[in-house]
């Protein structure tokens, strides 16, 4: 599609749509979610990347995107806000090309439609049963169930098909027949793993690997580490589809693989 032929959307209308859909202002987070860098007033092409980085910014610029949506933004609470050295280089690249930057961290993890965790649950053909992974008075992930028991090998196949990359690692210590799953993308903390044990899930699916080998083996639970970065591409991909339903814009994937 020729970008010049795309009608586009007002930047502020897009931001309002995102803020409302993702409940950006209502969810407590260490990320300063929402618009972080203001660019062009009209948006015709939107890029998506897990991380805000100079490399992802250059990829968006090369695609002639007007707006970039990321999961891990530039600004975090407790971080030094100085715009110097490597941070200045990042910000300058966006301002030089008038590209807006929008960040959605936990709001994108926990969303019941486009969220990373609900998308992973759908990917393995499980149904959401209840919220899981408590943080600041709300749940981030999901516990799901299968309509009929499945196996660790089938879930591995489903994830690799959906994510289109190999998984980091698998601890196959649970039952032969898997009936329930607890999902929390990215770098779920250790308390979420213990919460998965309490929920009596047969499988804990997360992104980032942790040293829980012995506990998982003794407790008899499967664990899949899909990769922090890879497990958080799925929400952005789903969000891109939702935006295209609402606005006459182009979208482009600018994920930078990390294998982490």
- pLDDT value of position 259: 85
The count of other CB atoms within 10 Å of the CB of residue 248 is: 11
Q: Are residues 94 and 152 located together in one domain of the fold?
A: no
Q: Are residues 176 and 219 located together in one domain of the fold?
A: yes
- pLDDT value of position 6: 81
70 found inside a domain:
yes
The per-residue pLDDT of the chain, averaged, comes to: 96
Q: What is this structure's pTM? A: 0.96
CATH label of the domain that carries residue 209: 3.40.1390.30
- Cross-strand partners of 203: 181, 222
Average of per-residue pLDDT across 227-235? 97
Residues in Cβ contact with 136 at an 8 Å cutoff, skipping those fewer than 6 apart = 28, 29
Helix H or strand E encompassing 232:
none
Q: Are residues 28 and 101 located together in one domain of the fold?
A: yes
| Per-residue pLDDT at 173 exceeds 80 | yes
Q: Are residues 97 and 7 located together in one domain of the fold?
A: yes
Q: What is the pLDDT of residues 50-107, one digit of tens each?
A: 999 999 999 999 999 999 999 999 999 999 999 999 999 999 999 999 999 999 999 9
**DSSP states of 122-179:** HHTT-EEEEEEEEETTEEEEEEEEEEEEE-HHHHHHHHHHHHSS--SEEE--S-SSEE
What's the domain count of the chain?
2
72 found inside a domain:
yes
What CA–CA distance (Å, rounded) separates 186 from 230? Answer: 8
User: Residue 247 corresponds to which tokens in the numbers above?
Assistant: 């606005």
Q: What is the pLDDT of residues 110-127, one digit of tens each?
A: 999 999 999 999 999 999
* Residue 4 pLDDT level (bands cut at 50, 70, 90): low
Q: Are residues 63 and 172 located together in one domain of the fold?
A: no
> Where in the sequence is the domain holding 196, given as residue range(s)?
109-232
| Per-residue pLDDT at 239 exceeds 90 | yes
Q: What is the pLDDT of residues 195-205, one digit of tens each?
A: 999 999 999 99
Angle, to 10 degrees, between the axis of helix 11-22 and the axis of helix 234-246? 130
Average of per-residue pLDDT across 123-144? 96
The two beta strands, 138-150 and 127-135, are antiparallel
258 found inside a domain:
no
């Amino acid at each position: 599609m020729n970008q010049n032929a795309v009608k586009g959307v007002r930047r502020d209308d897009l931001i309002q749509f995102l803020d409302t859909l993702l409940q950006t202002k209502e969810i407590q987070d260490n990320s300063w979610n929402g618009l972080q860098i203001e660019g062009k007033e009209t948006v015709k092409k939107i890029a998506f990347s897990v991380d805000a980085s100079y490399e992802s910014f250059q990829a968006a610029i090369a695609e002639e995107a007007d707006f970039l949506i990321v999961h891990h933004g530039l600004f975090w609470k407790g971080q030094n806000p100085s715009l110097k050295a490597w941070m200045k280089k990042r910000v300058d690249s966006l301002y030089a090309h008038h590209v807006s930057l929008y960040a959605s961290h936990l709001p994108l993890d926990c969303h019941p439609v486009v969220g990373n965790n609900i998308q992973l649950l759908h990917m393995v053909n499980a149904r959401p049963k209840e919220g899981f992974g408590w943080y600041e008075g709300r749940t981030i992930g999901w516990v799901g169930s299968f309509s009929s028991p499945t196996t660790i090998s089938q879930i591995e196949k489903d994830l690799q098909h959906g994510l289109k990359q190999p998984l980091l690692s698998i601890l196959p210590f649970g039952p032969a027949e898997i009936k329930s799953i607890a999902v929390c993308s990215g770098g779920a903390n250790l308390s979420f793993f213990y919460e998965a044990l309490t929920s009596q899930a047969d499988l804990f699916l997360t992104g980032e690997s942790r040293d829980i080998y012995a506990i998982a083996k003794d407790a008899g639970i499967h664990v899949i580490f899909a990769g922090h970065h890879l497990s958080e591409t799925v929400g952005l991909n789903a969000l891109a589809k939702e935006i295209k339903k609402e606005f006459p814009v182009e979208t482009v994937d600018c994920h930078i693989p990390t294998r982490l």
